[in-house]
Amino acid sequence: MTDRLYYTDSYVKSFRANIVDRSADGARVYLDQTAFYPTSGGQPHDLGFINGVRLVDVIDEDDRIAHQLAEPLPADANIADGEIDWTRRFDLMQQHTGQHLLSALFDDRYGWPTVSVHFGAESSTLDIAAPNWDLSVLEIAERVANELASENREIAVTFEDAATTQGLRKASDRAGVLRVVSIAKLDRSACGGTHVRRTGEIGSILLRRAERTKGQTRIEFLCGMRAVTTARHDAALLARSASVFTAATEDVPRLVESQQQQLRDLEREHKKLKGELAVYEARRYWEAAAPDANGIRRIHIAVNSGPVKDQEALAQAIVTLGGAVAVITSTNPVGVMLATSIDSGFDAGQTIRAAVPPLGGRGGGSPRLAQASLPDASAIPTIIAALGVTSA
């Protein structure tokens, strides 16, 4: 049974222990005591070194903890000197304690209990039962959370009988002894994770964004240096954007909105002009194609790049002139589009669905317009021949 040093002191950075067991290859070791935290409760496992060998994973196996190393320890090694990656550990302690504070705040102030938590390498998320979330709450909650942290409230760890313990924020289904983490006059939660000693050590708390997900609200949060680093990064991005506009940072949102509107206007104008050009080109292609015995003009237009979907306006304009079948092919990506006029006697969708499967392609569409993807450009001549058209 492994004695978990982090249960009573999360600030143990190095320790010495006896090696009591190991895997056959010697890369997984078991100690009589450890300060390395295993992956548990959403909190990632610690990293560090044992006898100078890099630790890559820490696994909770109920009564004991396994330490997975990057390479085996010597077979005669009986003593383990553990060294925790303290910068990473303290960062995780800040995030975990910050989550406890935020969960208490959202529950007590708004009546939104925490549903789940995810601790990430760069940021963490808190899912709360807030079906009618208002984004205006984010700024207020962030301010209150930082005020609570700055009060530097004591955080205590106690071990209590599950049958008699009271005042837990969320009831525990565990029996026996519970490890309870308490933030003075704010929260009591059963938790096996690592935490700072006082709320002041959480540092800054940044609520970066919130979004609706599966009937709940997911809040991205960062604590300590993560919050400072991210805020600095966000400010740098905003300053960079401002320099592009040669404007003050506070003017960037307005300028971006203006640019978006201009872009939408230009796209509408471009679409209009493209449609007018398609009508002009369609007439040229239609007049250049000689009608067959049935009076149907069969036209093939080959493009070197771009999806055939981009040529839909041209294809539609051609068949609008009547008595026409238009095939447009592209070699990058490889595809084919078939458009047919009402009086052509051709069903575009049926024709495509019959022609492309033997070539390894997939496609379909309506009687007037259909398209398909092809495995490679070598299939294009075959599909053209199958559709009975000649190049324009």
286's tokens: 């239609």
Please determine, for residue 102, whether its predicted confidence score (pLDDT) is greater than 50: yes
pTM over 0.75: no
pLDDT tens digits, residue range 217-257? 999 999 999 999 999 998 898 888 888 888 888 888 888 89
Question: How far apart (Å, rounded) are the C-alpha atoms in residues 87 and 373?
Answer: 52
What residues contact 271, with CB distance under 8 A and at least 6 apart?
none
What residues contact 119, with CB distance under 8 A and at least 6 apart?
42, 43, 44, 92, 95, 96, 99
Domain 275-391 has CATH 3.30.70.100: no
pLDDT tens digits, residue range 66-92? 999 999 999 999 999 999 999 999 999
CATH number for the segment(s) 90-243: 3.30.980.10
| Whether the Cβ atoms of residue 287 and residue 314 lie closer than 8 Å to each other | no
pLDDT tens digits, residue range 14-41? 999 999 999 999 999 999 999 999 998 8
Confidence band of 361 (pLDDT split at 50, 70, 90): confident
The pLDDT assigned to 215 comes to: 85
Question: How far apart (Å, rounded) are the C-alpha atoms in residues 31 and 149?
Answer: 36
The domain locations on the chain are: 3-84, 90-243, 275-391
Instruction: Estimate the share of the chain in helix, then strand, then coil, as percent rounded to the nearest 5.
Output: 35, 30, 30
Please determine, for residue 392, whether its predicted confidence score (pLDDT) is greater than 50: no
What is the average pLDDT score of the chain? 92
The pLDDT assigned to 390 comes to: 54
% residues pLDDT > 70 (the chain): 99
- What's the CATH class of domain 3-84? mainly beta
Q: Give 264: exposed, middle or buried? Use CB within 10 Å, 0-12, 13-18, 19+.
A: exposed
% residues pLDDT > 90 (the chain): 71
The pLDDT assigned to 230 comes to: 92
